[in-house]
Amino acid sequence: MADPHTDDSDPDGVPAGRGERRTRSRQAILAAARELFSGLGYEQTTVRAVAHRAGVDPALVMKYFGSKERLFEAVSEIGLGFGAVLSGPADRLGDRLLAHVLADIDGRPDRSMPVLRSMLTHPQAAEAVRCAVADPGNSPVARALTGDDAELRAALVGTVVLGLLVSRYLLRVPEVDQAPAEQLVDLLGPCLRPLLADHVDHVDEVDQVDGPAAGAGSAGPLAALAAAESARLAAAEDVDRLAREALAAGASFGEVGQLLGISRQAARKRWPRTEAAEPSATT
């Protein structure tokens, strides 16, 4: 059978148009790049390896993306958006932060893992992670804290979060890797409370800290944004639950990944404890 990444026909044997072939090749390149950057990191991933995985010529990768750096930028992103978790009981802020981070990484591993895997060897990836996780200058958490050493405390919260990400997703420390996210939040959330003890527990007060541009009318859009983010997190939890149920009922990782727009390998990483449910037939 001809390689679907290079064949000029669609799955029904009808010759594919040039635009369709380009789209198919580009998607194959992006999927291959996500897998390799996630598994090997930036330094160990080569354009030739991406092309080989995608079933295309290396020159086509360069034609579409221009460089390995631009290809990396196209498949990687980490933006945790901590602002959405600020409203709520102050003593549960640490729990909300951790739950949000874990849901975000688990919800889009193909976007987050290339950056996390590359952060110790690639300066741009390191900067992206630092800004997203542990930079008080860009953190709504730091702006929401009062009392002494607010920026340092916010940075330390980010350091704890980063340590959790490294242990769970990179080093794959067995106990941390296999623990349900809810258990990690229950055990680690209280450890953050001393650092967050002076949290301002009102969204409109946080808006006032942001400066003159944050007028009284901004509370409505921010409240709507917080509600939308809460709905997104709830939807992500539903996706996780339903995916596990589908796998337990006999669906393959490939079928689940196709429905969610991720690769079979990404589905395996996202729900590793359901691997036993994978049908014996090859996919």
Phi/psi at 74 (nearest 5 deg)? -70, -25
pLDDT in tens, 9-28: 444 444 456 778 888 888 88
Report pLDDT for 48. Answer: 92
3-state secondary structure of 145: strand
Residues of the chain with pLDDT > 90, as a percent, come to 13
Q: What is the pLDDT of residues 42-93, one digit of tens each?
A: 888 899 998 998 899 999 999 999 888 888 888 777 666 666 677 777 788 8
- For the cut 80, the answer to whether the pLDDT of residue 273 exceeds it is no
Per-residue pLDDT tens digits for 157-181: 888 988 998 999 888 899 999 999 9
- Average pLDDT score, the chain: 75
Gap between the Cα atoms of 274 and 89, Å rounded? 34
The overall longest dimension of the chain from CA atoms, in Å, is 68
Which amino acid is residue 83, in one-letter code?
A: G
Report whether 240 contacts 247 (CB < 8 A).
Answer: no
Q: What is the reported pLDDT for 112? A: 79
Question: Does this model's pTM top 0.75?
Answer: no
CA dist., res. 57 & res. 99, Å (int): 42
Confidence of residue 151 (pLDDT cuts 50, 70, 90): confident
Local structure of 9: helix, strand or coil? strand
What is the model's pLDDT at position 138?
63
pLDDT tens track for 169-216 = 888 899 999 999 999 999 999 999 888 876 544 433 333 334 444 444
Q: What is the DSSP string of 77-141?
A: -----GGGG-SS-GGGHHHHHHHHHHHHHHH-HHHHHHHHHHTTT-HHHHHHHHHHHS-GGG-HH
Q: Between the CA of residue 151 and those of 23, 86, 128, 251, what are the distances in Å? A: 46, 16, 19, 47
Q: Which domains, from first to last, does the chain contain?
A: 18-75 (1.10.10.60), 82-229 (1.10.357)
Q: What are phi and psi of 151, to 5 degrees?
A: -70, -40
Average pLDDT over residues 272-277: 46
Instruction: Check: CB of residue 35 under 8 Å from CB of residue 268.
Output: no
pLDDT of residue 174: 93
Structural contact between residues 91 and 199, judged by C-beta atoms closer than 8 angstroms: no
